[in-house]
Amino acid sequence: MITKRLAKLFPLTLLAISSVSTLVVASDDTFMVQRGIVGLGEGNDVYVISANLIDQNAQITISDTEGSDSLQLISGLAITSSIVAENTAQLTLSNGAVITILDASSMSYILGGDPLSGVAGVSKDYQSFVTDALGVSVPVSGTVSGSASSVNADGSVDISAERSLPDGILLKDIPAGSFTMGSTVENDAPETSVTLSAFQISDKEITNQQYVTFLNAAYQEGWLTVSPQQTTDPCGTYTEQMIIGVGSAPNSGEIFLQLGETGGCTSNGEEEHIDNKSWISFNSSSNQFELLDQTKANWPVNWVKWYGAHAFAQFYSVDLPSEAQWEYAARGGQQLEYPTADGNISLEQANYNGDLPNVHSETGHAVEVGSYAPNPYGLYDMGGNVWEWCSDYYSATFYGQSSVEDPVNEVAGSERLRVRRGGSWNYHAATLLTYARASDHADHGNNHFGFRVVKN
């Protein structure tokens, strides 16, 4: 076997070709991959992936299907995320490089070792590589998201227990501090001095596309099933497809989300705008969750129950915000009355239903997240668009103490209500106040229920 070493002619050492070229290599060669497209080797080649050589943000495709080829991952390589299919894998590295492996099941995989010094690594087939290095199983159909991991010199792999959050979720740092929670005008929200540890919170509400990413990953791991269920609202009783937690999912047996709904009904039995439907469906042929309309990808997910919001958070090792964290973040470090850029409220600052309670808008609906200016902490739509589930159980008397630290109400109470905050597109201005409290049953969730996440 010929090994092209770094000490030799540099262009021959690295697979560093343009994205429109395909390199033809000889048999039994070892190549240090840098960037580009690799393919059509004559067989038994080793492609070495080293963190020290891969170009930052490089796009690499390995498509050598000749002979018995291997992909060797050298010690120190950090994989931040991966997408695995039956015969294709995509690895994203810590420097932003993306490696796509075609015909992945025909290759072998070497973990650790050093081909330049003759140190052997640990060889694995595709199934074992995916399980041992990415922390998931090869799916029989569709794709599954792997865990973050790093390769050690002895061929062992440290797999992070945390899955990477779906693309587009930006966590904002919220500093530790104290604030006055509540007000003098809300019976269930008396003024209370609250001290919180630092945390991070997503700058926007979780979107339809981000929730679809979760559903497909959780489905592959046996967390979910889809089943028709009867449901009733003021417009009548009908059957809809529901996502239900199963297996090791938290709250197994509970409904997480309602699929493909119509716009829904008001409490008075009036049909609402069709844009208030659930935009997520399940393709039983491909066993994939899909969007019914790609233009709604960045709208906030709706029709989600507390159970479905909690499951999303648990899957990615984050949390729903506590009620105190939510209010602290909403106030923007300035004791704001409304969670807007300046603490005031108008239809130019948030998506809500004006100033009059119990007034139905036939044209109202959610809009793309981030459509309005953020509050001083850089958080969008903390008021309006969709209600946001919190982790706490609701109690009208929970905030009666003079001062508390990092409070979370974990006592269910007789009604077992969960907190929701922030108002929505079809609620009036008073519900958007930073200190306005609301609650609902964990199995409720309609066209104006959504959520965001925190990392503690």
Percent of the chain at pLDDT above 70?
88
Mean pLDDT of 195-207: 98
pLDDT at 303 over 90: yes
Predicted pLDDT of residue 168: 96
* Confidence class for position 437, pLDDT limits 50, 70, 90: very high
Measured in degrees and rounded to the nearest 5, phi and psi for residue 356 equal -110, 125
Contacts of 58 (CB under 8 A, 6+ apart): 34, 35, 36, 97, 98
Predicted pLDDT of residue 230: 87
CATH domain 169-456 topology:
paralog of FGE (formylglycine-generating enzyme) (3.90.1580)
Predicted pLDDT of residue 42: 59
pLDDT at 413 over 50: yes
pLDDT in tens, 8-37: 222 333 333 333 334 444 455 677 776 655
Report how far residue 380's alpha carbon sits from residue 312's, in angstroms, rounded to the nearest whole number. Answer: 20
- Round the average pLDDT of the chain to a whole number and report it: 86
Contacts of 128 (CB under 8 A, 6+ apart): 109
* Confidence class for position 43, pLDDT limits 50, 70, 90: low
Token output for 272: 């609402």
Which of residues 148 and 425 earns the better pLDDT score? 425
Could you give the 3-state DSSP secondary structure of residue 125? coil
Predicted pLDDT of residue 357: 66
Domain boundaries, the chain: 2-159, 169-456
Token output for 223: 């967390």
Q: Which of 306, 241, 315 is nearest to 280 (CA)?
A: 241
Predicted pLDDT of residue 308: 98
Angle at 45 between CA 86 and CA 62, to 5 degrees: 45
* Pairing assessment for the beta strands 59-63 and 29-39 based on DSSP bridges: parallel
Predicted pLDDT of residue 63: 78
Report how far residue 206's alpha carbon sits from residue 305's, in angstroms, rounded to the nearest whole number. Answer: 13
pLDDT at 173 over 90: yes
Predicted pLDDT of residue 97: 83
Predicted pLDDT of residue 366: 95
Which of residues 322 and 263 earns the better pLDDT score? 322
pLDDT at 443 over 70: yes
Which of residues 226 and 6 earns the better pLDDT score? 226
Strand partners, 290: 281
Which of residues 86 and 140 earns the better pLDDT score? 86
Predicted pLDDT of residue 260: 81
Token output for 55: 């170009």
Q: Which of 43-57, 79-93, 236-250 has the lowest mean pLDDT?
A: 43-57
pLDDT at 225 over 70: yes
Q: Can you point out the beta strands (E) in 249-325? A: 255-258, 280-283, 288-291
Mean pLDDT of 287-304: 96
| Highest-confidence segment of 18-22, 364-368, 372-376 | 372-376
Side by side, the strands of the sheet bearing 224-233 are 224-233, 236-245, 255-258
Q: Which of 56, 40, 50 is nearest to 116 (CA)?
A: 50
pLDDT at 46 over 90: no
What pTM, to 2 d.p., does this model score?
0.69
Predicted pLDDT of residue 3: 33
Q: Which residue has the tokens 């969007």?
A: 291
Q: Which of 82-96, 280-294, 304-318 has the lowest mean pLDDT?
A: 82-96
pLDDT at 342 over 90: yes
pLDDT at 1 over 70: no
Percent of the chain at pLDDT above 90?
53
Predicted pLDDT of residue 20: 34
Mean pLDDT of 396-403: 82
pLDDT at 380 over 90: yes
Which of residues 369 and 44 earns the better pLDDT score? 369
